[in-house]
Chains A and B, each alone.
Chain A
Amino acid sequence: MANTVKKVNTVAIADIKNINTITDSDLKKLNTLEFTGTPADAHTLIATATASSSASLTFTSGIDSTYDVYEFQFINLHAATNSVYFQFQVNATDGADYNDSAITSTFFAAYHDEPSGTFAALSYEAGDDAAQSTSDIRLTKWVANGNDESLSGKLTLYAPSSGTYVKHFMSRIANYKIEGATSDTHVAGYINDTTAIDDIKFQMSSGNIDAGVIKMYGISKS
């Protein structure tokens, strides 16, 4: 009988914080009426990394078998240097220095410029993909560093703790690119390593991440 009781006397159920010393988090039942509350969100915020003139933002804990799917949300990452790439690499549990796992990726983007309003294109960027590369993997290009310019988006990483499969990832980033244009950048690929991945690093190809936030979420397995 979930959520059938809206009020007790004139007090809304949502306003009840405790009964005697029992807090609302423990308040599962009142007589025979069960309170289920709001279903739990499958997203769990694991960690937040905030840039402040940071050479890189790394997550070196929290990536394990707890979740099958991890999401990294990029919020207004602002580059210190103009016209740079935003990129990532990983460490497997048997590796270090973010240069051991070969990655193959694709890279395409849609562009539309502000100044003329006439340049609009969709193109594969062959120079920005990766073929069994152990270098940083580009997630967007031509990042601008004007005061109101930044990038936001998301990277999804699948089953990083698998000891059987390569590790798939997909990203989509909205980027305020140099020369005043929007770039909708799509990158995907796989980390060609059957060893578990437990570290990830994000950085610009040159210069610091001046500001911005990256949030790492796990998506519930059960």
Chain B
Amino acid sequence: MALTLISTSTASASATLDITSGIDDTYSVYEFHFVNMHPATNQVDFTFQVNAHDGSSQLTGFNETIQSTTFQSQHGEGDGGATVGYYTAYDQGNGTAYQALNYETGYDADQSVSGILTLYDPSDTTFAKHFQARTQTAQGDDFSVDWYTGGYINTTNAITQISFKFDSGNIDAGTIKMFGVS
């Protein structure tokens, strides 16, 4: 597996980080690496959505239909709250909201979320588009949270754009790198 760096997006008090080029049929697998995404607001969720192209024009808005699963493992610095389990409040059943990739990111100066989202065959026009993500978070109440998200974007249109944001407030800092896998 070889990774080719396609683009880097760096947040600086950014409402969203949108990647609107470079997602096409050049690669059948794309990886998005998040490095120290730091929110301006405490205990907010890092999320993503995508935008499709119907073959003749770019559709409007990051609001595609998503079917997803979410589960997480957590443990507090005070040795409490150790568990692994499914998180029903964060999955989607053919929803069009931004999909959560983690849980309650802390906004202390040293807190952030890092991880990876893999998007499969976004330019395909036959199948739904699968994705998998794993993130590691310094959570606002000083928990370590190992978060897993998987699912599919329930469209047969090609996906050409992706957007990342916290569910409230800006992305104060952080970097997202988009790689193609060959």
Query: Would you call A220 and B2 a contact (CB within 8 A)?
Result: no
Q: Kindly list chain B residues whose C-beta atoms are within 8 Å of the C-beta of A105.
A: 75, 144
How far is B74's CA from A190's CA once the two chains are assembled, in angstroms?
A: 12
Bound Cα distance from A42 to B38, whole angstroms: 24
Residues of B within 8 A of A81 (CB): none
Cβ-based interface call for A158 (8 A): yes
A106, B75: Cβ atoms closer than 8 Å:
yes
Q: Is B76's beta carbon under 8 Å from chain A?
A: yes
Interface size on A, residues (CB 8 A): 42
Residue B175, interface by CB 8 Å: yes
Is B130 close to A, CB under 8 A? no
In the complex, A94→B114 CA distance in Å? 24
Contact with A along B26-46 (1 / 0, CB 8 A): 000000010110100000000
Judge whether B97 is part of the interface by a CB distance below 8 angstroms: no
| Pairwise interchain contact A165-B110, C-beta atoms closer than 8 A | yes
Query: Could you say which residues of chain A place their CB within 8 Å of the CB of B115?
Result: 168, 170
Contacts of B13 in A (CB 8 A): none
Stretch at the interface among B15-23, B58-66, B79-87: B79-87
Instruction: Render B135-167 as a binary contact track against A, CB cut-off 8 A, 1 for contact.
Output: 011100011111000000000000000000000
Assess A131 versus B75: contact at CB under 8 Å? Given A159-B114, A219-B33.
Answer: yes
* A186 on interface, CB distance cutoff 8 Å: yes
Q: Taking the complex as formed, is A5 at the interface, i.e. its CB lies under 8 A from any CB of chain B?
A: no
Determine how close the nearest CB of chain A comes to the CB of B111; give it in whole angstroms.
7
A68 CB–B CB distance under 8 Å: yes
- CB of B136 within 8 A of CB of A170, answer yes
Binds A, one of B3-11, B48-56, B88-96, B118-126: B3-11
Q: Is A166 an interface residue (CB 8 A)?
A: yes
- Known contacts A68-B175, A69-B33, A124-B84; A132 and B77 CB within 8 A of each other: yes
Residue numbers in A under 8 Å from B36 (CB-CB)? 158-159, 162, 164-165, 168
Residues of A within 8 A of B137 (CB): 168
Most chain B CB within a 10 A radius of its CB, from A43, A68, A105, A168: A168
B22 CB, min distance to chain A CBs, angstroms:
13
* Closest partner residue, chain B, to A170 (CB atom): B136
Please tell me if A76 contacts chain B, counting CB pairs below 8 Å.
Answer: no
- From B84, B144, B175, A104 is in contact (CB under 8 Å) with B144
Please tell me if B132 contacts chain A, counting CB pairs below 8 Å: no
Whether A108 is near chain B, meaning CB under 8 Å from some CB there, is: yes
1/0 per residue, CB under 8 A from B, across A8-47: the answer is 0000000000000000000000000000001111110000
Asked if B136 and A168 make an inter-chain contact with CB atoms under 8 angstroms apart, the answer reads yes
Least CB distance from B77 to A in Å reads 5
18 CB < 8 A contacts A-B = A42-B179, A43-B3, A106-B73, A106-B75, A106-B82, A106-B84, A108-B73, A124-B82, A129-B75, A131-B79, A158-B114, A164-B110, A166-B111, A166-B138, A192-B110, A219-B33, A219-B177, A222-B8
Q: Using a CB–CB distance below 8 Å, which chain A residues touch chain B?
A: 38-43, 68-69, 104-108, 122-124, 126, 129-132, 156, 158-159, 162, 164-166, 168-170, 186-190, 192, 194, 219-222
Further contacts, 20 of them, CB under 8 A, given A105-B75, A166-B112: A41-B2, A41-B4, A42-B5, A43-B2, A68-B177, A69-B33, A104-B75, A106-B74, A106-B82, A107-B75, A123-B84, A124-B82, A129-B75, A129-B82, A158-B114, A159-B35, A164-B109, A168-B112, A168-B115, A222-B5
